[in-house]
Chain A
Amino acid sequence: MDFAFKDEHIAFSDSIRKFLMVEAAPEWLREIWETETGRSRELRGKLAEQGLTALSVPEEFGGIGAGDLEWVLIHQELGYYAIPDSLIDTAYLATYLLNRLPAADASLKKTWLPKIADGSARIAVGHPVNPMVADAQNADLILMWHDDEVHALTKDQVKLSFNPSIDMSRRLYKVSWTPSDATRICPARLGKQLWDGVLDRAALAGAAQLVGLTQRMLDLGIDYSATRKQFGKPIGSFQAVKHHLADVAVKAEFAKPVLYRAAYATEREQARRGVYVSHAKLAAGEAAWLGARKSMQVHGAMGYTWETDLQMFMKRAWALDAAWGDRAFHKKRIADFILADGARLGPGETFA
């Protein structure tokens, strides 16, 4: 029984953290927010240089072949730094789908996996749990759900309408399209399982980002409360302020092991994977919302401004909480599990 990550995974995520700390300063992210596509070739190029786009791609296609446990550390960093890029949809979710396509579709893999690995392709993923498709506009390929089938579309095959999100790092589109034999790349029989795998990984990635975001908002609150003075003292010396931030620390502390169990169960394809992922998403979402609320409170009016960086992280947290399954969706998955007849619950059943 050991929750420790492999040394090399920790070393890799440490190096990514240091890289993002230097390269993804909030000022630059704001600039990217303001652009029309909301995406930056330069940022994407740098992420690719770090090997992030190649993580899930098998070695034979120029990638690294990493698993969900390695990713979960990276997702936390991407959340902490609120990275505005379609990296996760492309390099984690779409790659998961493409990797598992029937052998007959070798050509799709051959075309796309190397491009994903080297960072040159962006792929969007459309699933009915989300009303919109993120990053459809600047995607080179769009993978869509239709009755559990997987369809692959290029932009000339779809009509897109842009729907602005409060989180300007998210670029959401309503996608209108017509499924046909020509667009189908996987039948429902196999697709069902693949889409389940995509949904769980997307929710897991969301949970991990939310844990990272919680930590970021907590850190911003701590920094601010140490420097802002009122009544002749740093506001962080006031107990009410301390307790706001302590409450966030408690939630964050107890979301992490839940997240790690979910990642472990996902990597091993355990039967309870979905329940554990839903648990992680809920715990992380709650922590992040509390982190946003409390950090906002600690910042006073400063927190209510566009200028203060906190807003970037709060908005991300508010949005990600309901992406890839809102709380009702994930609670229902847990309720179905714990309320089922003969459910194995209680002491001794935690790692089943």
Chain B
Amino acid sequence: MRLEYTERQNKFRAEIREWLAANVPKQPLQSFDTEEGFRQHREWEHRLNGGHWSAVTWPEHLGGRGVDLIEWLIFEEEYWRAGAPLRVNQNGIFLLAPTLMEYGTEEQKKRFLPRMAAGDDIWAQGWSEPGAGSDMAAIRCKAIRDGDHYVINGQKTWSTRAVWADWLFGLFRSDPDSVRHHGLTFVLLPLNLPGITIRPIKQLNGLPGFAEIFFDNVRVPVENRMGEEGQGWNVAMATAGFERGLMLRSPGRFQQTAKALVDLYKAEEKNVDDCSLRDAVVKSWMDAEAYTLATYATAGRLRKGEHIGPEASTNKIFWSELDLSMHETAMRLLGPRAELMEGSPDGGNIGHWLEGFLFAQAGPIYAGSNEIQRNIIAERMLGLPR
């Protein structure tokens, strides 16, 4: 056991800290769920990429720095610490890219990854459909082979940032006679193809953070397929593994929130006569630390060539419940001011807590609901009967 950073890691931290200090916008960007905010965030991705910081774990020839997962965690810690903008291309960089590295052809990697790193292509995910939520194997949206194209018909929904994104990756039914996990194919497609209609959906905060996507005879070249035809489920599961396991929510995010919550508690303590709040703040710090420690432990194992198993499902439950409880605590600390929207002239600078509280409601639902994760833990980790 060695719970210390190496010289090299400390240098890496110093380097990113210095770069962020010089480059993080002084004024917070607008929400990337607005057109102008999306543009600002894309610009920020350009800037990150200019410093070679947008995808540090990738090999250098694809736009990364070839660093390992521990350095990635260090990068993330510094990123959150600096209050840098949210990653508008998170679906691409953290979720699609690891799958591309594993299943993509060399040509696909060269074609997609550098543009992804630069923020030239912002990616959306297309798994969910009206009839396929938790039950993803119920996917019906079709991609039927016609010569060297797939012809796509049907609908996807809840696709995050699809309103302004450039590309979509997702699962489609390529064998119309297949059922469940069989006959699905993983396809990458630009969202400006003829036959695509995107209908924005407003989220709890009123902004169009996700969208429905309708496909009407949309033709996608066969070279946009990842993995074999009919093998899409396995490819998709690899993405889900990364998502749940490690890259979707790095611990720095929750440590930053926990720290802000400590500050909020110190500022508000005298106004709130509720002795359970200190307890909740202590618990927030502990759980954010626990999540960090568990992530470092996992990263250490992966670095030695081990794989993430079904225990990854414990992560998803842990961070989503942590995020909820931290924001609930903040709301309780703010009391009657908690309802005030960002920008309320007399609210003080507190609106981000409400925004975070709203978003925390979604955590136990997306990326595989927490009930589904509990099923996975019970059946695959604990071995209970189906």
Q: State the A residues within 8 Å of B (CB).
A: 1-6, 69, 218, 222, 225-226, 233-234, 236-237, 239, 241-243, 245-247, 249-250, 253-258, 260-261, 264-265, 279, 282-283, 331, 334-335, 338-339, 343, 345-351
Which of chain B's residues 1-42 have a Cβ closer than 8 Å to chain A?
1-5, 9, 13
Q: Determine which of B255, B373, B382 lies in contact with A346 in the assembled complex, contact meaning CB atoms within 8 Å.
A: B255
User: B379 near A347 (CB under 8 angstroms)?
Assistant: no
Shortest distance from the beta carbon of A140 to any chain B beta carbon, whole Å: 35
Query: For the complex, is B61 an interface residue (Cβ under 8 Å from A)?
Result: no
Residues of A within 8 A of B13 (CB): 348
Residues of B within 8 A of A258 (CB): 286, 289-290, 293
CA distance A226 to B262 in the complex (A): 44
User: B384 near A222 (CB under 8 angstroms)?
Assistant: yes
Shortest distance from the beta carbon of B299 to any chain A beta carbon, whole Å: 8
User: B286 near A282 (CB under 8 angstroms)?
Assistant: yes
CB pairs A–B below 8 angstroms (23 shown)? A1-B9, A3-B300, A6-B1, A222-B383, A225-B384, A233-B385, A245-B384, A246-B373, A250-B377, A254-B287, A254-B318, A255-B290, A279-B286, A279-B289, A283-B290, A335-B281, A347-B80, A347-B255, A348-B78, A349-B255, A350-B292, A350-B293, A351-B3
Contact residues on B (Cβ < 8 Å of other chain), bracket: 35 or more
User: A338 near B374 (CB under 8 angstroms)?
Assistant: no
Q: State the B residues within 8 Å of A (CB).
A: 1-5, 9, 13, 70, 74, 76-78, 80-81, 251-252, 255-256, 258-259, 262, 265-266, 278-279, 281-282, 285-287, 289-294, 296-297, 299-301, 304, 311, 314, 317-318, 371, 373-375, 377-379, 381-386
Shortest distance from the beta carbon of B246 to any chain A beta carbon, whole Å: 14
Other than the given A69-B1, A226-B383, A255-B290, 4 more pairs (CB < 8 A) read: A2-B300, A246-B317, A246-B378, A348-B252
User: A350 near B255 (CB under 8 angstroms)?
Assistant: yes
Q: Determine which of B1, B77, B293, B374 lies in contact with A246 in the assembled complex, contact meaning CB atoms within 8 Å.
A: B374
User: A4 near B300 (CB under 8 angstroms)?
Assistant: yes
Residues of A within 8 A of B78 (CB): 347-348
CA distance A152 to B79 in the complex (A): 54
Residues of B within 8 A of A247 (CB): 374
Most buried by B among A2, A218, A225, A245: A2
User: A348 near B74 (CB under 8 angstroms)?
Assistant: yes
Known: A339-B262, A346-B81, A348-B74. Is A1-B5 also a contact (CB below 8 A)? Answer: yes
Residues of B within 8 A of A234 (CB): 385
CA distance A335 to B286 in the complex (A): 10
CB-CB nearest in chain A for B383 = A222
User: A264 near B377 (CB under 8 angstroms)?
Assistant: no
Q: Determine which of A1, A245, A261, A347 lies in contact with B382 in the assembled complex, contact meaning CB atoms within 8 Å.
A: A245
User: A345 near B293 (CB under 8 angstroms)?
Assistant: no
Shortest distance from the beta carbon of B267 to any chain A beta carbon, whole Å: 12
Shortest distance from the beta carbon of A208 to any chain B beta carbon, whole Å: 14
Known: A254-B294, A257-B293, A335-B278. Is A348-B4 also a contact (CB below 8 A)? Answer: no
Q: Determine which of B77, B258, B318 lies in contact with A348 in the assembled complex, contact meaning CB atoms within 8 Å.
A: B77
User: B318 near A264 (CB under 8 angstroms)?
Assistant: no
CA distance A16 to B128 in the complex (A): 49
User: A264 near B76 (CB under 8 angstroms)?
Assistant: no
Shortest distance from the beta carbon of A33 to any chain B beta carbon, whole Å: 29
CA distance A42 to B78 in the complex (A): 56
User: B258 near A350 (CB under 8 angstroms)?
Assistant: no
Residues of B within 8 A of A6 (CB): 1
User: A339 near B265 (CB under 8 angstroms)?
Assistant: yes
CA distance A5 to B155 in the complex (A): 50
The 6 closest A-B pairs by CB, nearest first: A242-B378, A347-B77, A346-B259, A257-B293, A347-B252, A246-B374
Known: A4-B300, A260-B1, A261-B3. Is A226-B385 also a contact (CB below 8 A)? Answer: yes
